[in-house]
Structure 1
C-alpha cells in the first residue's frame, strides 16, 4: 500500500517464483487466490490511509 498516493499494489506469484502480474488499484475488490471466500474492498484499505 502506498499511503501518500492512496494506492494498493497487488502482485500475483505464479510459477518460477516470480511475480507475473502486478496491478495498482484505487478502487475495486481484491479476492486473494489462496482464499476465495475472503474479499477486501480497495476503498476500505485506502480509506484507512486517509485518516
Structure 2
C-alpha cells in the first residue's frame, strides 16, 4: 500500500512540476517576443536616422 501512495505522490508532483515549467516557459517566450519587438523598433529608428 505504501508503494502505491509513493507512486501517487510522485505522479502528482511530476504533473504539478510540469504545469509550472510550462507556465514559466510560456511567460518567458512572451517576454522575449516583447523584447525583440522593442529592439527591432530601436534598430529601425536608428537605420531611418542615417
- Which range, TM-score by smaller chain? under 0.3
> Structure 1 length as normaliser, TM-score?
0.23
Query: Normalising by the residue count of structure 2, what TM-score does the alignment of the two structures yield?
Result: 0.23
Higher relative contact order (CA 8 A, sep 6+): 1
Task: Name the larger-Rg structure.
Answer: 2
